[in-house]
Amino acid sequence: MAEFVKQDFSDARFEQVDFSRAWFRNVYFTGATLRGAWLEDVDIDGEIRNVRINGVDIGPLVEAELNRRHPERSKLDPTDADGFREAWAIIEQAWSPTIERAKRLPPDLLHEQVQGEYSFIQTLRHLVFATDAWVRRAILGQPDPYSPLGLPHDEMEPDPSVPNEPDARPSLDEVLDLRADRTRTVHDVIASLTDEVLAGETDPVPPPGYPPAGSYPVRRCLRAIVTEEWLHRLYAERDLAVLEQQTPLDPP
């Protein structure tokens, strides 16, 4: 991934500034105010809460439209164990056609980044890391949870205990074998989940490592996995559509 320099513009004031064709990544606009703004041909992807445009809170409108496009999406924020089992079944089913779509591309394209985002292989590697962190480490308490092929998120502070090889180029089959192992782990944890366990917290995890030392609500850990899986599959589908324009595909 490209290297980004973190800058803090908290409480800054911008006037008569031209951001045309600017690129913002991992930015925080909490409490920001835009007056006299001209938004045209703008693409925004992120968490939207209490965002008002011309006096209209657009958050509920965006949520309603996303749920209209993906009716199953409304089931991905469960509150009980059965709900998590249903949510994980949705995730497992959703990924199958995405994987088949990727297999039809030349192997080199699966390592290609679209506009600096994760390549397809990096996306799968990142999801391995997410499972290692939130399920193998936080929920299961495994002392050595991380795969060397897992890919931590770019914003994570360097931690010698967490392998991080962003330039590794494993094959799709290699990563899919690893993914299969990790998704089985999540499946098994959720299959045996009870409402009592879901309402509790994990045993404390020791330093070093990610997530940081401490206890975590089990629901928070599992929701992190469900959310990561859902969003990164959508990102992968978006980028696969771009990559498909670069090569003729065999018919599915």
d(CA 132, CA 91) in angstroms, rounded, equals: 17
d(CA 210, CA 205) in angstroms, rounded, equals: 9
Checking if the pLDDT of 128 tops 50, the result is yes
Task: Output 44 or 200, whichever has higher pLDDT.
Answer: 200
Confidence category of residue 252, pLDDT binned at 50, 70, 90: low
Task: Output 230 or 24, whichever has higher pLDDT.
Answer: 230
Average pLDDT, the chain: 92
Q: Which residues contact 136 (CB under 8 A, 6 or more apart)?
A: 142, 145, 146, 182, 185
pLDDT, tens only, 182-241: 999 999 999 999 999 999 999 999 999 999 999 999 999 999 999 999 999 999 999 999
Confidence category of residue 250, pLDDT binned at 50, 70, 90: low
pLDDT, tens only, 56-113: 999 999 999 999 999 999 999 999 999 999 999 999 999 999 999 999 999 999 999 9
Q: Please give the CATH architecture assigned to the domain spanning 74-244.
A: Up-down Bundle (1.20)
Mean pLDDT for the stretch of residues 153-161:
87
Domain range summary for the chain, segments of one domain joined by +: 74-244
Q: Phi and psi at residue 234, in whole multiples of 5°? A: -65, -40
| 3-state SS track over the chain | CCCCCCCCCCCCCCCCCCCCCCCCCCCCCCCCCCCCCCCCCCCCCCCCCCCEECCEECHHHHHHHHHHHCHHHHHCCCCCHHHHHHHHHHHHHHHHHHHHHHHCCCHHHHHCCCCCCCCHHHHHHHHHHHHHHHHHHHHCCCCCCCCCCCCCCCCCCCCCCCCCCCCCCCCHHHHHHHHHHHHHHHHHHHHCCCHHHHCCECCCECCCCCCCCECCEHHHHHHHHHHHHHHHHHHHHHHHHHHHCCCCCCCC
| Res 1: pLDDT | 40
Confidence category of residue 247, pLDDT binned at 50, 70, 90: confident
d(CA 227, CA 29) in angstroms, rounded, equals: 21
- The sign one gets for the Cα dihedral 62, 66, 72, 73 is negative
| Res 214: pLDDT | 97
Q: Is the backbone peptide bond immediately before 208 cis, with ω within 30 degrees of 0?
A: yes
